[in-house]
């Protein structure tokens, strides 16, 4: 039987002339590492759910991408993260929104899918469910990246919103 894996690290107004060769190499390497790991899992017969959760968790741990560790700052300087996972075989799904401190929101989403009668949990309640299921939490320091902090300062100064990969001069009102 065939197996296939596709992944993304976010879309944005990035432009070839904006991204430096070193950044391009860094991003390419991070995506390639996640792809290789995921394909290995599929080759060994892992399930599609196991593979997508593992792949996304790996990207969450990479500070380059706007998820998990590399998450952007909200208006009040926090990291409020969302995630979801869905199993095509039985249409089971788990989703979480507005959680802070959770190291891998996608693992929390899968835990909700597998151990909660609800599909979608949010905020403090979702964080309480995470602690009950011994999901890993990290300090604010883990989620701090200079690049995202700078983006936040720029966006706040102009009362704007920024997508994941947006040069500072491209903002959404």
Please tell me whether residue 2 adopts helix, strand or coil conformation: coil
Site string for another protein, 3-32 (x = CB under 8 A): xxxxxxxxxxxxxx--x----x--xx--xx
Answer yes or no whether residue 37 interacts with another protein by CB under 8 A.
no
Q: Does the footprint of another protein cover residue 116 (CB under 8 A)?
A: no
What is the per-residue burial (b if ≥16 Cβ within 10 Å, else e) of 44-57? eeeeebebbbbbbb
Closest separation between CB of residue 167 and another protein, Å? Answer: 10
Contacts (CB under 8 A) with another protein, residues 127-146: none
Rounded Cα–Cα distance for residues 171 and 154 (Å): 10
163 binds another protein (CB under 8 A): yes
Of 19 and 133, the one with the shorter C-beta distance to another protein is 19
Asked if 68 is part of the footprint of another protein (rule: CB under 8 A), the reply reads yes
Q: Is 83 near another protein (CB under 8 A)?
A: yes
Q: How many CB atoms are located within 10 Å of the residue 100 CB?
A: 19
Closer CB to another protein, residue 131 or residue 153? 153
Cβ–Cβ < 8 Å for 30, 62: yes
CB of 114 to another protein, least distance (A): 13
Q: Report the C-alpha gap between 121 and 95 in whole angstroms.
A: 6
Among 21, 43, 117, 146, interactor with another protein by CB under 8 A: 43
Interacting residue with another protein among 136, 137, 164, 173 (CB under 8 A):
164
Structure tokens at 55: 């792949």
Burial of 131 (0-12, 13-18, 19+ CB in 10 A): exposed
């Amino acid at each position: 039987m065939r197996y296939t894996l596709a992944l993304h690290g976010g879309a944005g107004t990035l432009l070839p002339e904006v991204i430096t060769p070193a950044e391009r190499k860094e991003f390419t390497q991070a995506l390639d590492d996640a792809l290789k790991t995921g394909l290995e899992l599929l080759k060994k017969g892992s399930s599609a759910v196991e593979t997508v959760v593992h792949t996304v968790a790996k990207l969450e741990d990479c500070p380059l991408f706007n998820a998990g560790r590399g998450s952007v700052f909200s208006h009040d300087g926090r990291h409020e993260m969302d995630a979801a996972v869905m199993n095509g075989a039985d249409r089971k799904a788990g989703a979480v929104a507005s959680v802070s401190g959770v190291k891998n929101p996608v693992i929390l989403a899968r835990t909700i899918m597998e151990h909660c009668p609800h599909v979608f949990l949010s905020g403090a309640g979702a964080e309480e469910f995470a602690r009950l299921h011994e999901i890993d939490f990290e300090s604010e320091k883990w989620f701090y990246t200079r690049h995202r902090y700078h983006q936040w300062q720029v966006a706040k100064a102009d009362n704007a919103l920024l997508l994941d990969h947006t040069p500072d001069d491209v903002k959404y009102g």
